[in-house]
Chains A and B, each alone.
Chain A
């Protein structure tokens, strides 16, 4: 299966990465190589093989419902690009 220039632009948008036309073309070439590599999987018959999401077959541990976190706003917002009145600021969102 091959990927198209338009698909590259579409996934770049989904991933929120700005990409120019030239970059899309260059990326197309490299991604096609990688996707060809991936195509090798197609040859394998995986009927009735269960997917493996985790390296170990263990189950989720549960945490007690106890407050362990304290207010660290000042410290955490020191490293923020833009804050005001304790809020993180982004360009106006229109719903």
Chain B
């Protein structure tokens, strides 16, 4: 298997040095070989993918090709794709053939990209290790005994194992950035509202945001050009002017002011990871950036706030799974109540049920003000922290995750420890800010990501800043052992 980037594939296809069918076939074969071990895909449909590839080749021949025409892109199984099984990693949707396309999927279809398969994920995107999937855990291609991170662990592992050059992902509390960090990839969670949520199965609506995951910033920028954009079908979509995210990616970054929040380097951060981040910051200094100290004093509160707001929204979002119109319905029941309760008992996994219960609890009579309202108020404070910080810097940097990939089963029985995985990523979701993770080095042969947090709609600058780093470093080019064979 070749280690193509999206950019390379795009050129090869447009120069007609290869065909989409050829590339797609290669990836499908590689998936066949690798996926049984990694479990990054829930659904692969060779016929559909190849049919799309054939159409793409026709388009290219006619000179109608777009930048991504013919390029295979994997879709996280949280996105509805018409006539594809769309499970969201849950037994509840084990039989759900989506009757419509999510806007993100539609946009990739419209430019002629090939859907190479639906990637595994934590059930309803609830998890940081991809171990909550009904379809089994995903293995980290860097070390098969370890997790790829989550919830977009399938997308991350698929790219890391070179089963696709790029994949869509979603991020509610770190679900793009943390798996990107743990798998040595580049992942961007855009500003809330920049990418449409239509057709993306909701976890926590006010925090969920889709974004690209690939090997490099350049590839992510190319995917962003497809994904970003106003969608009248999503009330929370923002009518932001269309940008070309690749346009200024080569600009030098001299004079860039990088803010380092002291709270992101406090207790809880693995000291080896800290060293990697520090040397990455040194690299940025060499590129002409200046460093300023900033403070995000409410960082520690982001976890409690998140674990009130996200489960509250989730408890309501997941009420539609009742066994009446689609999805799982229990086989035996006495009456309606029994049908509901058994269907939901069987259809949801432990973590999902736990979060539904927390969410139901914090919204229930008598607790709303103490939990939900309070959390929304602190969310405001957290958002203000960023506003203040951005008065003295252009971007904020720090670790993406407190450690490298951990062992499977290591944290699954201890939800609180698992939740702490997201300590550096959650706050940006609460504020609605864009966040990115790019490979910054290794600790014990495991990748470490550095996080870049931008101001609202500053994705183009973030991608530029990431790309400049990637021009002078090779971390993002590292390949897990055996990934290409």
By a CB distance below 8 angstroms, the chain A residues around B235 are 60-61
Asked if A39 is at the interface of the complex by the 8 Å CB criterion, the answer is yes
Q: Is the CB of A7 within 8 A of B336?
A: no
Q: Is the CB of A55 within 8 A of B193?
A: yes
A23→B432 CA distance, assembly (Å): 36
Q: Is the CB of B326 within 8 A of A16?
A: no
Q: How many of chain A's residues have a CB under 8 angstroms from any CB in B?
A: 53
Most buried by B among A30, A80, A82: A30
By a CB distance below 8 angstroms, the chain A residues around B415 are 30, 33-34
Contact count A vs B, C-beta below 8 Å:
169
Q: Which of B27-35, B355-363, B470-478 contacts A (4 or more CB under 8 A)?
A: B355-363
Q: Is the CB of A17 within 8 A of B380?
A: no
Nearest chain B residue, comparing its CB with the CB of A54: B206
Q: Which of B308, B353, B354 makes the CB contact (< 8 A) with A38?
A: B308
By a CB distance below 8 angstroms, the chain A residues around B146 are none
Q: Is the CB of A90 within 8 A of B339?
A: yes
Q: Which of A4-59 contact B (CB under 8 A)?
A: 7-8, 11-19, 27, 30-31, 33-42, 44, 46, 49-56, 58
Asked if B162 is at the interface of the complex by the 8 Å CB criterion, the answer is no
Q: Is the CB of B341 within 8 A of A18?
A: yes
Q: Is the CB of B360 within 8 A of A52?
A: no
A55→B345 CA distance, assembly (Å): 32
A53→B383 CA distance, assembly (Å): 12
A54→B357 CA distance, assembly (Å): 23
A54-B206, A81-B329, A88-B324 known; A41+B357 contact, CB < 8 A: no
A11→B360 CA distance, assembly (Å): 6
Q: Which of B447-466 contact A (CB under 8 A)?
A: 456
Q: Is the CB of A15 within 8 A of B356?
A: yes
The 8 nearest A-B residue pairs measured at CB: A55-B432, A51-B376, A55-B192, A46-B377, A18-B341, A81-B329, A18-B345, A52-B380
Residue contacts A-B, CB under 8 angstroms, 13 given: A15-B315, A15-B319, A16-B344, A18-B342, A37-B416, A38-B307, A38-B371, A49-B377, A51-B380, A55-B207, A91-B335, A92-B336, A93-B336
